[in-house]
Amino acid sequence: MRWDELFDDLAGQLERGLAAEKVDEQRDAARVELARFGRGDLLRFLARDKQRQVDIDVCGISVVGTINTVGADWLAMTVPVSTPVAGVKTRDATAPGEAARAVVQTDVREQESSYVIPVASVWGLALVGGLSPTHELRERHDLADLRSRVRHDAADPSKRTSRRIDQITFDIVLRDLARRRRWVTLRTSRNIVHGTLDVVGRDWCEVALHPHDVPRRQRDVRSSVVVAVSDIIHVLVT
The predicted-structure confidence for 96-150, as pLDDT tens digits, reads as follows 555 555 555 555 556 889 999 999 999 999 999 878 887 777 666 556 666 666 6
pLDDT of residue 160: 43
pTM of the model: 0.72
- What the chain holds in terms of domains, given with CATH numbers, is 37-92+105-141 (2.30.30.100), 168-235 (2.30.30.100)
Give me the pLDDT at residue 156, please.
47
Question: In 103-203, which residue ranges form alpha helices assigned H by DSSP?
Answer: 135-138, 143-152, 170-179
- pLDDT for the residue numbered 138: 67
Low pLDDT (below 70) residues in the chain: 1-14, 16-32, 82-110, 138-163
- Collect all residues with Cβ–Cβ distance below 8 Å to 208 and sequence separation of at least 6: 195, 196, 198, 216, 221, 224
3-class secondary structure for the chain? CCHHHHHHHHHHHHHHHHHHHHHHHHHHHHHHHHHCCCHHHHHHHHHCCCCCCEEEEECCEEEEEEEEEECCCEEEEEEEEEEEEEEEEEECCCCCCCCCEEEEEEEEEEEEEEEEEEHHHEEEEEECCCCCCCHHHHCCCCHHHHHHHHHHCCCCCCCCCCCCHHHCCHHHHHHHHHHCCCEEEEEECCCEEEEEEEEECCCEEEEEECCCCCCCCHHHCCEEEEEEHHHEEEEEEC
| pLDDT (0 to 100) of residue 237 | 93
Q: What pLDDT is recorded for position 96? A: 58
Comparing CA positions, the residue from 169, 164, 170, 202 lying closest to residue 186 is 170
| Residue 64: Cβ within 10 Å count | 13
Q: Count, in order, helices (H) and strands (E) of the chain.
A: 5, 10
